[in-house]
């Protein structure tokens, strides 16, 4: 606010400054902030009257009188700026474009009745203006007005100019912060809509497949994510399972994920042939969609309900884990594979067959599980959850239902990461032959 001089009670001034700073520290409305600041100024300086000018977004010689102690219920200069008339000329015009502090000691003698500032300035003997600079220009000016005979301490003016400029910068930063908050909220609302749309593309519930127990889990690291999973019937004898992971995060990944989902359902005639299905999707992505370095890893499988045979192929995806109930061992479905989708238009994919025996369980997942990171304080380096730890977890819960099996994996990952927010999307799909 201001610095004390020898004839002032500096303890009183300090108390006023501290009370004012505490009051404005939690304010988010710039108009409320300015009003409380001027109230504090009035307690420190024998002047309760003021005028504020602005040149922001107006061309010379115009300016705005954004606030005045003589105006009751003025328009808010931030939200109702369009209601404030433009003014030009007069003493206030000279001050608005002076680009320096101005002190007028005989204001009552210089002010003419036809001056545009007559209403705001008449009856005062002295004024002191404090420009507030932005990029070297005095876009805003605060003016203190002193009635005739009011005490005036010129020694305070330099420190008041300094502190008023700092306050002006703080007010401007608050305005910018509020604008940024509104923009962020609007963007977040849009992203939430994207996330809601994306989640609507995932299965609302998994199909019932006689003789099999299925469950799924999906968690994004942001509002919207790039993971995709689906389980759908091909015909009465077969069902398809797919898990995919789009490179990147957030809205761009979610958009590409939606495209992958559309492609996955565009050719029902290919659903029974993993090789043809994956090769076709890769061709579509490389020709017109993945042209900016993005790509998609995917695992696709066709399950024969009667035999338990799983025909599968992979495009650079994490190998699903197969838990053999009889031997209590785990191995990855990694015998075949190719490049991720969207990289090489000439890439073709081959498939392999894996039998599921009764009580065997297969877990499809994305790398947000195995690449979950432990807190750095717990280990000397950033340790990943990893495939080995995942396999150990699966062996310890292989007798559970598909739902409980997935929940156990999620609990282990949460424990490992100390429940820190996920840094990547996490998807799990489990299918057990009963």
CA distance 94 to 114: 15
pLDDT of residue 296: 97
pLDDT of residue 8: 67
Backbone angles phi, psi at 306, to 5 degrees: -75, -40
pLDDT of residue 5: 44
| 3-state percent breakdown (helix, strand, coil) of the chain, nearest 5 | 35, 25, 40
**pTM for the structure as a whole:** 0.69
Q: Is 141 left (phi over 0), alpha (psi -120 to 50) or beta?
A: beta
pLDDT of residue 253: 86
Predicted confidence (pLDDT) at residue 426 exceeds the cutoff of 50: yes
Q: pLDDT class for 380, splitting at 50, 70, 90?
A: low
pLDDT of residue 78: 86
Residues whose CB falls within 8 Å of the CB of residue 225, separated by 6 or more in sequence, listed in order = 195, 198, 249, 250, 253, 254, 257, 425
Backbone angles phi, psi at 297, to 5 degrees: -95, 145
260 and 284 Cβ atoms separated by less than 8 Å: no
CB count within 10 Å of CB 85 equals 9
Quick one: how far is CA 344 from the chain centroid?
Answer: 34
What mean pLDDT comes out for the span 413-425? 91
Predicted confidence (pLDDT) at residue 2 exceeds the cutoff of 50: no
426 and 359 Cβ atoms separated by less than 8 Å: no
Give the model confidence (pLDDT) of 117-130 as tens digits. 999 999 999 999 99
Average pLDDT value over all residues in the chain: 90
Q: pLDDT class for 131, splitting at 50, 70, 90?
A: very high
Q: Can you name the residues that pair with 128 across neighbouring β-strands?
A: 103, 144
CATH classification for the domain delimited by 201-433, as one of 3.60.40.10, 3.40.1280.10, 3.30.70.1170, 2.60.40.420: 3.60.40.10
Predicted confidence (pLDDT) at residue 208 exceeds the cutoff of 90: yes
CB count within 10 Å of CB 236 equals 7
pLDDT of residue 236: 95
Cα separation values, 255 from 186, 197, 205, Å: 19, 10, 22
As a CATH number, domain 10-180 is 3.30.450.40
Whether cis (ω within 30° of 0) applies to the bond prior to 75 is: no
- CA angle in degrees (0–180, nearest 5) for 80-82-86: 125
Range with the lowest mean pLDDT among 72-86, 273-287, 293-307, 310-324? 72-86
Predicted confidence (pLDDT) at residue 4 exceeds the cutoff of 50: no
Q: pLDDT class for 179, splitting at 50, 70, 90?
A: confident
Predicted confidence (pLDDT) at residue 377 exceeds the cutoff of 80: no
Sorted by where each begins, the domain ranges of the chain are 10-180, 201-433
């Amino acid at each position: 606010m201001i610095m004390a001089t020898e004839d002032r009670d500096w303890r009183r001034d300090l108390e006023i400054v501290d009370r004012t700073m505490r009051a404005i520290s939690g304010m988010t409305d710039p108009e409320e902030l300015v009003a409380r600041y001027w109230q504090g100024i009035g307690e420190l300086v024998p002047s309760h009257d003021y005028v504020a000018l602005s040149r922001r977004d107006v061309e010379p010689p115009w300016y705005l009188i954004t606030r005045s102690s003589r105006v009751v219920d003025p328009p808010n200069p931030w939200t109702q700026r369009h209601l404030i008339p433009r003014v030009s000329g007069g003493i206030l015009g000279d001050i608005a474009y002076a680009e320096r502090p101005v002190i007028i000691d005989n204001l009552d003698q210089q002010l003419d009745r036809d001056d545009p500032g007559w209403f705001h300035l008449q009856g005062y003997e002295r004024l002191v203006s404090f420009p507030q600079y932005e990029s070297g220009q005095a876009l805003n000016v605060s003016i203190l007005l002193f009635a005739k005979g009011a005490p005036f301490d010129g020694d305070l003016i330099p420190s008041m100019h300094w502190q008023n400029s700092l306050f002006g910068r703080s007010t401007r930063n608050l305005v910018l912060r509020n604008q940024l908050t509104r923009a962020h909220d609007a963007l977040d609302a849009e992203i939430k809509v994207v996330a809601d749309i994306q989640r609507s593309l995932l299965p609302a519930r998994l199909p019932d497949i006689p003789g099999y127990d299925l469950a799924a889990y999906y968690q994004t690291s942001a509002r919207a994510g790039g993971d995709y999973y689906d389980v759908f019937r091909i015909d009465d004898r077969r069902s398809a399972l797919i898990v995919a992971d789009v490179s990147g995060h957030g809205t761009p990944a979610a958009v590409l994920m939606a495209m992958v989902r559309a492609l996955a359902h565009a050719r029902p005639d290919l659903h029974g042939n993993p090789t043809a299905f994956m090769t076709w999707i890769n061709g579509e992505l490389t020709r017109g969609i993945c042209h900016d370095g993005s790509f998609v890893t995917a695992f696709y499988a066709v399950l024969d309900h009667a035999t338990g045979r799983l025909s599968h192929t992979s495009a650079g995806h994490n190998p699903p884990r197969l838990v053999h109930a009889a031997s209590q061992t785990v191995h990855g479905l990694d015998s075949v594979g190719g490049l991720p989708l969207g990289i090489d238009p000439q890439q073709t994919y081959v498939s392999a067959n894996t039998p599921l025996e009764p009580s065997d369980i297969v877990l499809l997942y994305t790398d947000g599980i195995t690449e979950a990171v432990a807190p750095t304080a717990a280990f000397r380096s950033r340790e990943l959850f990893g495939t080995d730890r995942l396999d150990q977890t699966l062996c310890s819960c292989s007798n559970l239902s598909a739902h409980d099996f997935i929940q156990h994996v999620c609990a282990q990952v949460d424990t490992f990461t100390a429940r820190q927010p996920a840094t990547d999307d996490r998807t799990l799909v489990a299918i057990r032959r009963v």
